[in-house]
Amino acid sequence: MDNKKEFKPYIPADKVTPEFTFASIFMGILLSVVFGAANAYLGLRVGMTVSASIPAAVIAMGVIRVIMKKNSILESNIVQTIGSAGESLAAGAIFTLPALFLWAAEGKMDKPGLIEITLIALLGGLLGVFFMVPLRNALIVKEHGVLPYPEGTACAEVLLAGEEGGSNASTVFAGMGFAAAFKFVIDGLKAVPGEISMKFKGYAGEIGTQIYPAVLSVGFICGPRISSYMFAGGVLSWMVIIPLIVMFGSDIIMYPESTRTIGEVYAAGGASGIWGSYIRYIGAGALAAGGIISLIKSLPLIIRTFKDSVKSFNLKGGNSALRTEQSLNMKFVLISIAVLTLLVWLVPAIPVNLIGAIIIVVFGFFFATVSSRMVGLVGSSNNPVSGMAIATLLIATLILKFTGAEGPAGYAAAIAIGSIICIVSAIAGDTSQDLKTGYLLGSTPKKQQIAEIIGVVAAALAIGGTLYLLDAGLGFGTEALAAPQATLMKMIIEGVMSAELPWNLVIVGALIAVVVEIIGIPVLPFAIGIYLPVQLNACIMVGGLIRLAFDKMKFKGDEDKKKAVTNDGILFCSGMIAGEGLVGILLAVLAVFGVDKVIDISGLLNLPPVVSSIGGLVVFALIILTVLKFSLWRKQKKSK
């Protein structure tokens, strides 16, 4: 049977409604930059990003329906299509590009220029969109009813529930406002500490929690299972491995130092001092193994996906008479891919030779195909983008080494190739989710594909400045911005090129990942938990526990009310992530100009540590109360 003859979209093919308007383009670009910047901050901080499609959709519905008094669902869909592109491009960029800043800090190369970052992000994003155009017919149309595309379908449902668009949008904006205020109090004014830790007498372990709204929000959105895996990884590293290192190695000279012992480093810096020299390598090994394991497990699906997609490869885009089947012209798409490939090779700002450009095209199309189908089955959050990037980096670095590209030039070329592939995979997955939303609603594919291009261009122009500000104000590889994936990519390239890694520690992490996989625990969230500070994981766990409480609550058999409560919580937390991300970038700007010291009132308050910690817990309690206020208590009030 032909699915496209059976399926009837919400807006029929013969009906033309406002879609690609100035208002939708302007709002979409704004949200692309906002959510791209917020997700860049979040990903560098906690190693995870969240989808911006639904928050962008509800904001669009709120503005277009409530403020502009228009009833145009397809216009709102264009807004979320452009807006979500920023989040996906940021996710691909921050997993790799900060490695260039880390090498610059070590004196191995100059900092990447804004033009270099922008071009890498732009070319990767555009390739991701163009690779997906001919695959739409195979994956979205012919596989309708087979590939659910969870985020794309959920976004369509949100847009269809337009009657509540205004209240939902206000929930997102409220989350942004409250998180902005909390973040400014914690990291701007520094009235309370952002982290509360507890040490144990006679035991080198350390536990505690951060009190940031965005980190808690990640736990709520990801849910209790993923949060608990991350927390378990943190407990293993900070309450088991670090104490063992201190217990058995206190008299051993600290790696990579040559003067102080492990015991002396622990006495001076606590568990954090041990983390920097040991745990981050163990965590990197676990992350690398987790990425490769997820890729190996997906291999049968990857091979089948690629074969099926190539068989159904559609070279007739743009020729259909039906509005809902019109895609970009395939001649234009193929010429664009060829031009982009030449630009990757010929533009001086991108350190990639002809071999690298060929690697990008071959791996790019392969992983774009895989990513598009994978997100259709398991959703964007389970798409093994990091595993694809690791596999690409290993192969690309080996090829570059054998062809003579070593040292800083080889490092830069390898990370550029990995960055473009990572961005291609992320954007292809996002584009397929957006096209699924449009297919259900009855959007014009060609207009959505142009919208994706606009979103990519807007986000690419903003990502360079965002990375520069975050590095200048907070610093990559620090406690404020751990940049776990980028640090991992850096280690992989250095390990292949120069063999200077502490391989014993990396192997320990990889074997931990194998054990975790054998006992049936998802490796990647556990590995991220090992790598990141336990205080951050604990804050995520608190968010997961709140979500667990919501899931366990009884609403007298009213599942719709239960779903509404959870949905409001997710929207509020999405807003909190955006709000904290934007203030984080603002504080980075203030730090660049030295204004951060002027607004810092911690010295004036001069509170004792115990009082300061109590103040932090009070703020943390207020953050939790705001989540309850705009989700659980709000719905209970409405139902009375």
Residue 388 pLDDT more than 90?
no
Residue 318 pLDDT more than 60?
no
Q: Which of 303, 283, 206 is nearest to 523 (CA)?
A: 283
Q: State mean pLDDT over 117-123.
A: 93
**Alpha helices for 382-444 (secondary structure H):** 385-402, 407-441
What is the full DSSP assignment across 320-332?
Answer: -SSGGG----HHH
CB within 8 Å of 467: residues ≥ 6 apart: 40, 93, 94, 97, 98, 101, 117
Q: Which of 581, 604, 579 is nearest to 474 (CA)?
A: 581
CB within 8 Å of 79: residues ≥ 6 apart: 24, 27, 28, 31, 56, 57, 59, 60, 64
Q: State mean pLDDT over 409-417.
A: 88
Q: State mean pLDDT over 399-408.
A: 80
pLDDT given for residue 3 in this prediction = 46
Could you give the percent of the chain with pLDDT greater than 70? Answer: 88
Query: Cα–Cα distances in Å, from 506 out to 72, 287, 320, 395?
Result: 53, 10, 54, 19
Query: CA torsion, points 22, 28, 34, 35, in degrees to nearest 10?
Result: 180
Encode pLDDT of 535-593 as tens digits. Answer: 989 999 999 999 999 988 877 667 778 888 888 888 888 888 878 877 887 887 787 77
Encode pLDDT of 223-257 as tens digits. Answer: 899 899 989 999 999 999 999 999 998 888 876 66
Residue 200 pLDDT more than 50?
yes
Q: Which two tokens stand for residue 538?
A: 């604990």
| Total structural domains within the chain | 1
Give CA–CA dist 315/61, Å, rounded: 34
* b/e burial code for range 343-375 (CB count within 10 A of at least 16 → b): ebbeeeebbbbebbbebbbebbbbbbbbbbbbb
Give CA–CA dist 369/357, Å, rounded: 18
Per-residue pLDDT band for 2 (boundaries 50, 70, 90) equals very low
Phi, psi of 157 (to 5 degrees): -65, -40
Q: Could you tell me which residue, 190 or 161, shows the higher pLDDT?
A: 190
Which of 158-172, 192-206, 302-316, 449-463 shows the lowest per-residue confidence on average (mean pLDDT)? Answer: 302-316
Per-residue pLDDT band for 1 (boundaries 50, 70, 90) equals very low
Query: Tokens 């608990």 label which residue?
Result: 228
pLDDT given for residue 226 in this prediction = 86
Per-residue pLDDT band for 384 (boundaries 50, 70, 90) equals low
Phi, psi of 281 (to 5 degrees): -75, -40
pLDDT given for residue 4 in this prediction = 44
Cβ atoms of 190 and 602 closer than 8 Å? yes
Per-residue pLDDT band for 214 (boundaries 50, 70, 90) equals confident
Give CA–CA dist 379/148, Å, rounded: 9
Strand partners, 197: 208
> Where would I find the beta strands (DSSP E) of 83-202?
195-200
pLDDT given for residue 165 in this prediction = 46
Q: State mean pLDDT over 94-100.
A: 90
Instruction: Examine residue 256 and say whether the peptide bond preceding it is cis (omega within 30 degrees of 0).
Output: yes
Residue 35 pLDDT more than 80?
yes
Residue 636 pLDDT more than 90?
no
pLDDT given for residue 62 in this prediction = 76
Cβ atoms of 438 and 445 closer than 8 Å? yes
Q: Could you tell me which residue, 390 or 112, shows the higher pLDDT?
A: 112
Query: Tokens 């939303």 label which residue?
Result: 437
Which of 134-138, 154-158, 161-165, 343-347 shows the lowest per-residue confidence on average (mean pLDDT)? Answer: 161-165
Residue 315 pLDDT more than 80?
no
Q: Which two tokens stand for residue 632?
A: 């659980």
Could you give the percent of the chain with pLDDT greater than 90? Answer: 26
Residue 374 pLDDT more than 90?
no
Which of 328-332, 339-343, 374-378 shows the lowest per-residue confidence on average (mean pLDDT)? Answer: 374-378
Q: Could you tell me which residue, 194 or 386, shows the higher pLDDT?
A: 194
Domain membership of residue 71 as a residue range: 1-640
If you ran DSSP here, which 8-state letter would residue 303 be given? H
Give CA–CA dist 341/336, Å, rounded: 9
Q: Which two tokens stand for residue 57?
A: 């959709």
Give CA–CA dist 265/267, Å, rounded: 5
